[in-house]
Amino acid sequence: MKDGFTLGLDMDGVITSSPDFFASLSSQWRNNGGRVNIVSSRSDRPDVIQATREELSSFGISYDCLFLMPSIEAAQVRCPESNLDWYQKYLWQKVAYCLESNIEYFYDDDMKVIELFKMLAPRINIFHVV
């Protein structure tokens, strides 16, 4: 864990797969001066945001920011990568958010997301949770 660095955690398949581990990691990370951002493919609808906050609280996850993804339609308009298919453009939103937020370390379980990080954000250290 690096002081001052920002950690990104996916929700489903990452935090939900090992909530005790990620509660400990997130707490230690923040206690050492780092930031923790939750970056999930869940919808950014208000009800989903509220339910996700409640779930994170129930797991004891300590975090600074919560990013849930806008619609597929928004991604199609916003994504500058013309070589990506519609689903990759949707997932691209995770990569874009992590780049904009200066996330240095990111945990995800989806190989499609991991491939996008390797292709579009090689400076971010990506960890595959299986």
Give yes or no for a contact between 65 and 37, defined as CB atoms under 8 angstroms apart.
yes
The predicted structure's pLDDT at residue 23: 98
Q: Is 18 exposed, middle or buried (0-12, 13-18, 19+ CB in 10 A)?
A: middle
Given the structure tokens 């939900």, which residue do they identify? Answer: 16
The predicted structure's pLDDT at residue 34: 96
The predicted structure's pLDDT at residue 4: 74
- Global pTM reads 0.93
Q: In the numeric block, which tokens belong to residue 16?
A: 């939900």
Q: CA-to-CA distance for 124 and 118, rounded, in angstroms?
A: 8
Task: For the chain, list the domains and their CATH numbers.
Answer: 6-128 (3.40.50.620)
Q: In the numeric block, which tokens belong to residue 15?
A: 């935090």
Q: In the numeric block, which tokens belong to residue 17?
A: 């797969």
**How confident is the prediction along the chain (130 residues), in pLDDT tens digits per residue?**
555 799 999 999 999 999 999 999 999 999 999 999 999 999 999 999 999 999 999 999 999 999 999 988 998 899 999 999 999 999 999 999 999 999 999 999 999 999 999 999 999 999 999 9
